[in-house]
Amino acid sequence: MLTGDEMHEEILPSLQDPQDGSPWRAPAAREQRLYELCREDEAGDDRAGYEYLRSVAAEGLYRPVSLEAAADERGRRPVTLAALDDGRRVVLTYTVGVLPRPHPEVVYEFVTLGGLAAIWPDGVEILAVNAETPCAQWILADEEEREIWGELHEELFRPDELCDRVETRRTGAPADEAMLRGLACGAHLCYSNGDAWNTLHWHGAGYSNEVERLAESWNVFTRDDWHSTQERLLTCEVSPWVWDFVLGTRVRLAHGSGGERVDPVAWRDLVETSIRRQAEEGTDPDELDGFVARLRGLVGEVTRYEARFRADGLLPPDGYVRSVAAWDLGRATMMARWGRGARYATEQEMHAAIERAGKSVQSVYGSWAEFSAGYVLGRCLHFDEDTFGEWYTTVLQAHRALMSDPESPWAAITLH
């Protein structure tokens, strides 16, 4: 775990209304809506407070926990309390947009309103949401009210509905173009998870969920594991080398024919010739024949995917994918953020990895559309098994949204 080398004072959120009296510009759309509801509540709208509660029930909250307690294998993560001037105690919670940059000793855990009711401490009757911000609300939390929380949770909390959307921070995002470009390389995954693509204050799905994500999906359990995986993604060594070998063979053929689409038979033959030429002396002939057959089959698989890509508008009529480096590099920029959320990466390491991913994408692809096609093909080769199932259709949906939504990272920052 990381320690005091990154110590800072931003433990709990602290945001202020503008001094000139102008409306507050919230970090994201969620907080903007809560801010508007707070103003309506102050103006006497009796339903505004209830709508605020419904929004919290639908989206969930984050609660601060010491890193020591969050990492406790016995699962002891006590609720953090604060005291008001009159001595009453309150439970502190926040929405994701107001969270401060990660701290070496304090993390934030995701909790639903129903889940919070289940762990509510005895004798505490106030829930503070976004305290010390312009969208703060103090909510009664007696036993009767907590029963309402459970009902709202059952009615409104649908995790899948929090995904598949373009989310953009309006304030607090980095201004550096190279950093933004690197962040934009993670657009597919940010879209599918419903995360703001341009945030560096990464808390993701909450500390424990970020640790679990890396452990279950990536076999990353330690800082060393994260560092190794991060480097392999940045050098495009996670995906099989044969994918880009086969695609590169076609690129060479295309250059020789003036850039036009190549004949699949000639492509397969060149793949076979090239791999046999590179085979080490003494290679078992049967093993080599089997390997060649798999590579020739890969040509057919790529050809089928690209035909579908053209039909679905993911590629232009005469387009083809030159590299699947996007599949590793797009995940590399997210690995940097996931590692930071799990406290395996320092802030400096996260920044460096994100910028490096962006520069690598620039060196391989001429446009975001080309990058996206490479990413989609890599995902399909990895997961879809020539079925054109959900592994394809869901990322196609992401591609279409990211290419058309005015809030898309690809609309905000150019690749070149």
Q: What is the mean pLDDT of each run of 10 residues along the chain (416 residues)?
A: 66 92 93 97 94 97 94 78 91 97 95 96 95 96 96 96 96 96 98 97 96 98 98 98 97 78 91 90 87 96 97 95 98 98 96 98 98 98 96 98 97 96
pLDDT at 3: 47
pLDDT at 261: 74
Beta bridge partners of 64: 108
Single-letter amino acid, residue 184: A
pLDDT at 349: 97
Q: Are 111 and 61 in contact (CB under 8 A)?
A: yes
The residue written with tokens 């800082």 in the block is 223
Which of 247, 269, 231, 240 lies closest to 352 in space, CA to CA? 231
- Helix (H) / strand (E) element for 132: namely none
95: tokens are: 């929405």
Q: Which residues fall within 8 angstroms of residue 329, CB to CB, at 6 or more apart? A: 185, 233, 234, 236, 357, 360, 361, 364
pLDDT at 177: 97
pLDDT at 255: 84
Single-letter amino acid, residue 292: V
pTM here? 0.95
C-alpha gyration radius of the chain = 25
Distance CA 215, CA 352 (A): 23
pLDDT at 260: 66
